[in-house]
Structure 1
């Protein structure tokens, strides 16, 4: 079976930004591209004509790319997640055509990021064309897929990789509990530096051509990643929230980054 990337298509200009990003990414991956347009309540000639026009535009952007277009009658959220089965990547715009421009990110995009079986990239309007790739790392053993995605993305585009690790003091215990020890910031910061160095050691050896910089800060991860997004081409985060949470496994950090980042955000299932 051929490798493929799926991208959601709708009439909005933000959809076009997502399609363009997906076209270039599929070309870099040497994968096929599938344009999927879902319209709940039925489809008509106008939707088919729009999709045909988008197919022609995409085919002209990279003539050697294999592109398929699908017009599906069904709820956009479930349709896109279903279409992502077996895909290397699902790409969506940051806002759908639901008519709520005040929302930072549409419900379809958030749903896809929370439920798709593959990595999802949410493309914000007019993505940054300079900078590199940034990835947030907690230091967990299960973060391999996130680091793999970030290193591979940087390698494919010959971009530098910025690895961010944010930490905070453990919460103080309440009355009736043992008094916690005094926390010395310099000592704790050094321990987190050591942790990050250990996590990255094998990855640096595996990807020697990727220029890596690290940042260990006492701060909130979402805050630092959103700030980093101002001058990066891509921010990569993991998806490991609670399955029964409000947005499935989309945790608070990844949700905040999707909502507020200024560049495309890749959400990688763990």
Structure 2
């Protein structure tokens, strides 16, 4: 029995099929972004938890929504030409972020394959979030709950004591903390290499 054997999924109504070894498949979700901490979390998940024979790996990216000049309900034909130009610029920026997300997910998918994950057991997904860390955390938690994940592996941004304290004073929470409070499965936070506390 290994240290991570406690990560076995419980029997559920959406029962996962046993693998050849008789073990139930696990679904490991790794939220990713453009940071090295995110790549480190992916590497950690693959080398410490992921079992190629039975497990699935979901790479999740949260796309921050670009603040628009007007409420989403406004249709472009309902606004004057100057406002129409602002709406077009907003849409262009949103599409740019979506393209960056697609490139990121493709990169992380190739990294996972290079680390030994079978291409057929990887799924990539993107969600749109609004707000700061709590919006990203809410989107991660929603995905984890909907997918019935067995484990979440997140990278730590490596904030030190005073930065974390200021973040908490201002009402901002870290994505990992927000996620831990709102999902039923274990959450592993892979510490940043330079983090000392």
**1:122 is matched with which residue?**
189
Structure 2 CA distance for partners of 1:9 and 1:122, relative to 1, 3 Å? same
Q: CA deviation at 1:51?
A: 1.2
Q: Gaps spanning 5+ residues in structure 2: where?
A: 1-15, 17-24, 66-93, 130-134, 168-172
Match of 1:103 among 164, 167, 171: 164
- Normalising by structure 1, we get a TM-score of 0.42
Q: Gaps spanning 5+ residues in structure 1: where?
A: 128-258, 261-270
Task: Give the whole-Å Cα distance in 1 for the aligned partners of 2:141 and 2:40.
Answer: 20
* Match status 1:21 vs 2:82: no
Q: CA deviation at 1:6?
A: 0.4
More strand by share: 1
Q: CA deviation at 1:28?
A: 6.8
**1:10 is matched with which residue?**
33
- The alignment of Structure 1 onto Structure 2 pairs a total of residues equal to 127
Match of 2:137 among 77, 81, 84: 77
1:187-206 map, 5 Å: none
1:1-270 map, 5 Å: 1=16, 3-24=26-47, 25-27=49-51, 30-41=54-65, 42=94, 43-64=97-118, 66-74=121-129, 75-85=135-145, 86-95=148-157, 102-103=163-164, 107-126=174-193, 260=197
Task: Give the whole-Å Cα distance in 1 for the aligned partners of 2:31 and 2:41.
Answer: 8
Task: Give the whole-Å Cα distance in 1 for the aligned partners of 2:144 and 2:98.
Answer: 24
Task: Give the whole-Å Cα distance in 2 for the aligned partners of 1:93 and 1:7.
Answer: 9
Higher RCO by CA contacts (8 Å cutoff, separation 6 or greater): 2
Q: CA deviation at 1:108?
A: 0.6
Verify the 8 A CA contact 1:95 1:109 in the aligned structure 2.
Answer: no
Task: Give the whole-Å Cα distance in 2 for the aligned partners of 1:94 and 1:44.
Answer: 23
2:29 is paired with a residue whose SS is: strand
1:125 is paired with a residue whose SS is: coil
Task: Give the whole-Å Cα distance in 2 for the aligned partners of 1:124 and 1:29.
Answer: 27
Task: Give the whole-Å Cα distance in 2 for the aligned partners of 1:58 and 1:102.
Answer: 31
Which contiguous aligned blocks of 4+ residues in structure 1 show a shift greater than 3 angstroms?
101-106
**2:71 is matched with which residue?**
none
Structure 2 CA distance for partners of 1:63 and 1:107, relative to 1, 3 Å? closer
Q: CA deviation at 1:121?
A: 0.4
- Normalising by structure 2, we get a TM-score of 0.56
Verify the 8 A CA contact 1:77 1:111 in the aligned structure 2.
Answer: yes
Task: Give the whole-Å Cα distance in 1 for the aligned partners of 2:125 and 2:113.
Answer: 15
TM-align CA RMSD = 3.1
**Rg bigger for which structure?**
1
